[in-house]
């Protein structure tokens, strides 16, 4: 895993930090297509679309360097494990290569750690060799101790990323949370931030704190500003 730094990062590297988010419930097919066109233009890492939009995004991004990701049990994480697994299988069948799953937040807060770990592992087992798995904690609802435990459970279960938030909770990514999460997993596991990272400087701060992916809706504005600064 290459250590990124805001002082030395290139445009190409910065673009590959971004998962362009297309998750708002009111988005139309036309909006999704426009979002995929933007993702192609800027060569971002991926688009993150609603499950029902995976096939559309795959068709729009075929033959490009942009991956198609989707979400499982989003945004609340309350589906039973079998439903999350079914969602994962459907997403893979539809062509997704990245899966952002929300943990069962209530189970996590109840101390049902075996349940949380086993559920993450069930998704990782389905995705192995086919898709990256990013585990969303929704840190707005967790204590620091619970965030650390969730990091450990995610790594034990085989997750590729731990992720701060859905972007649909009362608060999103914070630098303190990113630093805590980065310190709580090994180098095998990467950190993704999401929720409230809307400016280039905010993204730089997150990168310097240890993220290698960030959800974003202001993708074009951030990358255009980067190009302007570099002259």
In a domain, 94, yes or no: yes
In the numeric block, the tokens 């049902």 are attached to 112
Q: Is the residue at 216 inside a domain?
A: yes
Report the sign of the C-alpha dihedral through residues 9, 12, 15, 16, in that order. Answer: negative
Domain total for the chain?
1
Q: What pLDDT was estimated at residue 77?
A: 97
Domain assignment of residue 7, yes or no: no
Q: What are the pLDDT digits (tens) for 33-60?
A: 999 999 999 999 999 999 999 999 999 9
pLDDT recorded at residue 226: 98
pLDDT of residue 3: 86
Q: pTM surpassing 0.85?
A: yes
Catalytic residue IDs? 100, 163, 192
Reading phi first (left if > 0) and then psi (alpha if -120 to 50, else beta), residue 88 is in alpha
For residue 5, tell me if it sits in a domain.
no
* Contact yes or no for 40/64 (Cβ under 8 A): yes
Mind listing the pLDDT tens digit of every residue in the chain (231 residues)?
Answer: 678 999 999 999 999 999 999 999 999 999 999 999 999 999 999 999 999 999 999 999 999 999 999 999 999 999 999 999 999 999 999 999 999 999 999 999 999 999 999 999 999 999 999 999 999 999 999 999 999 999 999 999 999 999 999 999 999 999 999 999 999 999 999 999 999 999 999 999 999 999 999 999 999 999 999 999 987
Residue 4 lies in a domain: no
| DSSP state string for 98-163 | EEEEEP-HHHHHTT-HHHHHHHHHHHHHHHTTT-EEEEE--GGGS-HHHHHHHHHHHHHHT-SEEE
The DSSP output letter for 192 is E
Residue-range definition of the domain harbouring residue 159:
13-230
Q: Is residue 203 part of a domain?
A: yes
């Amino acid at each position: 895993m290459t250590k990124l730094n805001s002082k030395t990062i290139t445009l190409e590297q910065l673009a590959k930090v971004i998962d362009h988010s297309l998750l708002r419930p009111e988005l139309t097919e036309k909006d999704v297509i426009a979002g995929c066109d933007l993702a192609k233009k800027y060569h971002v890492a991926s688009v993150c679309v609603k499950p029902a939009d995976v096939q559309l995004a795959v068709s729009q991004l075929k033959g490009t360097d942009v991956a198609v990701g989707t979400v499982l049990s989003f945004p609340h994480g309350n589906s039973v494990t079998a439903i999350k697994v079914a969602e994962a299988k459907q997403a893979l069948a539809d062509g997704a290569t990245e899966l952002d799953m929300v943990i069962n937040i209530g189970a996590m807060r109840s101390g049902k750690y075996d349940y949380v770990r086993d559920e993450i592992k069930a998704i990782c087992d389905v995705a192995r060799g086919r898709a990256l798995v990013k585990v969303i904690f929704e840190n707005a609802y967790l204590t620091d101790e619970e965030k650390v435990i969730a990091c450990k459970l995610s790594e034990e279960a085989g997750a590729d990323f731990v992720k701060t938030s859905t972007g649909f909770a009362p608060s999103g990514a914070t630098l303190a949370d990113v630093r805590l999460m980065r310190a709580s997993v090994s180098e095998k596991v990467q950190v993704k931030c999401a929720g409230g990272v809307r400016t280039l400087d905010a993204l730089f701060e997150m990168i310097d704190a240890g993220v290698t992916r960030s959800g974003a809706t202001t993708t074009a504005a951030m990358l255009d500003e980067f190009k302007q600064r570099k002259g």
